[in-house]
């Protein structure tokens, strides 16, 4: 059994977190570490997974989601217990939440410990070699290699073949628009497959309508869309989606039922082909764990014989974490990390919304308004703030508050005419409606066949 490194427990947690999220730290230290010398069982699993990824790909993981997914894959093969998987996620987030230390300072501290361990091993070998009158050249080479720990970058580098493949991959990223043309232009078309983005807004701003917009856009793109609603009932949700994809006021649908022109328009759209599937299911707010939602998604996939490519949750703040006795702060970490892992694992999109704290109507939220859990900002791939003007026009605006995987952060769109009449957030997202033409007409028939 290997002797553990002489790391303080909190320092070991910080080192583990850096090995997972910092490519520079891993490339300088990671290849020289022995995971079995870590004291904490979760640290051993996390470092082992990070090293396995490096051995297989030649690259540092650089992402907590990637490492946790590696451990999840081992869990599905029966090699890691569920409790260990959950403990790893908690341990990793504890390290990140505590604040990651300076990379260069930590490299120096860790390399001192690792050098001492490896120097002792080399010197033991030197005594044996000397006693046997062997060649000390190899011993000298190993001592020199020990001295380079923490100084040299151990990454494999990349070939021109790697470069060509990477350019090809970047050129074919499948993206799903947000519905705000200005924001999509800045981000290359919206979030990519495997990403989880959420809207941040105050009360009565239109979070559900922004999520209806996501679902409708997914249907435009031919996706199988699953909507878990913990806010509106299923009838209102479906009426809003139908209103958006047919350009029909959704209150007309609720009032006139089958007599509404929306159903005739929907039939014509479906005959043209290309429209995706929609499933909406109501769950109890503040009593439903994410696992129940994901179980329903799997049942929906089995029923339709088609995998869900867009999961919309209205909204994730109303889900509960694995342990109901945990604080809301911790539970939101579990929920949001779980949604992100689902998106990554299934190579699908996920959208939700969160309630901004202490914000007035008309004020654009910031990351600081996400006070119930800053995990949301760290875990997700993007956060977009939305607001509306507190006047009779109710124009809407959106701003990219965080965008992990590309440019666009800080870009704002609006004020724009709202699409509340149709059930979506921005008017131009309703199928077939051009904002200027719709406003100039002023009549009640603004559908796609007008």
Q: In terms of C-beta density within 10 A (0-12 exposed, 13-18 middle, 19 or more buried), how is residue 291 classed?
A: exposed
- CA-CA distances (angstroms) from residue 429 to 138, 205, 376, 433? 68, 17, 26, 7
Q: What share of the chain is helix, strand, coil (3-state, %, to 5)?
A: 55, 15, 35
Element (H, E) at 129: helix 103-131
Averaged pLDDT for residues 187-215: 94
Encode 111-125: b = buried (16+ Cβ within 10 Å), e = exposed: bebbbebbbeebeee
Say yes or no to pLDDT of 178 above 70. yes
> How confident is the model at residue 364, as a pLDDT?
93
> How confident is the model at residue 330, as a pLDDT?
80
Q: What CA–CA distance (Å, rounded) separates 342 from 380?
A: 12
CA atoms within 13 A on the CB side of 7: 25
Lookup: tokens for 138 = 């190899």
**Residue pair 99/4 in contact by the 8 Å Cβ criterion:** no
> The tokens 């705000």 sit on which residue?
180
Higher pLDDT, 324 or 119: 324
Q: What CA–CA distance (Å, rounded) separates 110 from 108?
A: 6
> The tokens 């850096």 sit on which residue?
18
Q: What CA–CA distance (Å, rounded) separates 263 from 15?
A: 58
Under DSSP, the state recorded for 323 is -
Element (H, E) at 384: strand 382-388
> How confident is the model at residue 219, as a pLDDT?
92
Higher pLDDT, 177 or 447: 177
Ordered DSSP codes for 346-377: HT-EEEEEEEPSS--TTPPP-GGG-TT-THHH
Say yes or no to pLDDT of 53 above 60. yes
Say yes or no to pLDDT of 224 above 60. yes
Q: What CA–CA distance (Å, rounded) separates 426 from 435?
A: 9
> How confident is the model at residue 444, as a pLDDT?
40
Lookup: tokens for 8 = 């303080």
For residue 439, the SS3 value is: helix
For residue 119, the SS3 value is: helix
> How confident is the model at residue 169, as a pLDDT?
45
- Could you tell me the pLDDT band of residue 121, with boundaries at 50, 70 and 90? low
- Could you tell me the pLDDT band of residue 167, with boundaries at 50, 70 and 90? very low
Averaged pLDDT for residues 235-261: 92
pLDDT digits (tens, 9 = 90+) for 16-36: 999 998 888 898 888 888 999
Averaged pLDDT for residues 152-165: 52
Q: What CA–CA distance (Å, rounded) separates 10 from 382?
A: 29
Work out the mean pLDDT of the chain and round it to a whole number: 84
Q: What CA–CA distance (Å, rounded) separates 424 from 383?
A: 18
Q: What CA–CA distance (Å, rounded) separates 250 from 213?
A: 13
> How confident is the model at residue 362, as a pLDDT?
87
Report all structural domains of the chain as residue ranges with CATH numbers, in order of start: 9-147 (1.10.860), 181-441 (3.40.50.300)
pLDDT digits (tens, 9 = 90+) for 67-113: 999 999 888 888 999 889 999 999 999 998 888 888 889 998 988 88
| Among the ranges given (113-127, 287-301, 410-424), the one the predictor scored with the smallest mean pLDDT | 113-127
> How confident is the model at residue 252, as a pLDDT?
92
**Residue pair 183/408 in contact by the 8 Å Cβ criterion:** yes
Element (H, E) at 228: strand 224-229
Say yes or no to pLDDT of 243 above 90. yes
């Amino acid at each position: 059994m290997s002797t553990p490194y002489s790391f303080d427990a909190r320092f070991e947690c910080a080192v583990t977190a850096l090995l997972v999220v910092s490519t520079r730290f891993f490339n300088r230290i990671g290849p020289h570490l022995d995971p079995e010398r870590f004291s904490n069982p979760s640290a051993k699993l996390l470092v082992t997974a990070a090293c396995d990824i490096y051995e297989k790909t030649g690259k540092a993981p650089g992402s907590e989601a990637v490492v946790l997914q590696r451990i999840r894959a081992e869990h599905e093969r029966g090699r890691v217990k569920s409790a260990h998987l959950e403990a790893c996620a908690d341990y990793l987030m504890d390290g990140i939440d505590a604040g990651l230390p300076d990379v260069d300072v930590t490299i120096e501290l860790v390399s001192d410990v690792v050098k001492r361990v490896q120097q002792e091993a080399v010197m033991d070998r030197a005594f044996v070699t000397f006693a046997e009158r062997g060649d000390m050249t190899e011993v000298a080479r190993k001592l020199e290699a020990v001295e380079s720990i923490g100084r040299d970058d151990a990454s494999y580098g990349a070939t021109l073949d790697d470069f060509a493949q990477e350019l090809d991959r970047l050129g074919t990223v499948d993206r799903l628009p947000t519905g705000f043309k200005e924001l999509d232009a800045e981000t290359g078309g919206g979030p990519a497959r495997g990403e989880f983005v959420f809207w941040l807004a105050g009360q009565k701003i239109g979070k559900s309508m922004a999520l209806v917009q996501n679902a409708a856009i997914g249907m435009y793109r031919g996706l199988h869309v699953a909507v878990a609603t913990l806010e509106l009932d299923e009838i209102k949700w479906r009426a809003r989606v139908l209103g958006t994809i047919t350009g029909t006021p959704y209150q007309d649908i609720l009032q006139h039922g089958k007599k509404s022109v929306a159903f005739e328009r929907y039939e014509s759209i479906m005959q043209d082909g290309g429209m995706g599937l929609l499933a909406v299911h109501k769950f109890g707010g503040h009593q439903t764990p994410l696992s129940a939602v994901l179980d329903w998604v799997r049942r929906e996939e089995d029923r339709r014989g088609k995998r869900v490519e867009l999961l919309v949750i209205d909204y994730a703040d109303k889900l509960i974490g694995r342990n109901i006795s945990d604080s809301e702060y911790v539970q939101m970490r579990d929920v949001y990390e779980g949604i992100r892992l689902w998106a990554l694992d299934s190579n699908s999109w996920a959208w939700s919304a969160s309630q901004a704290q202490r914000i007035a109507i008309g004020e654009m939220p910031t990351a600081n308004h996400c006070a119930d859990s800053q995990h949301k900002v760290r875990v997700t791939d993007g956060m977009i703030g939305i607001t509306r003007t507190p006047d009779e026009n109710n124009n809407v605006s959106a701003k990219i508050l965080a965008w992990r995987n590309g440019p666009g952060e800080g870009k704002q769109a609006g004020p724009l005419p709202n699409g509340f009449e149709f059930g979506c957030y921005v008017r131009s997202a309703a199928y077939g409606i051009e904002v200027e033409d719709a406003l100039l007409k002023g009549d009640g028939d603004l559908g796609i066949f007008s």
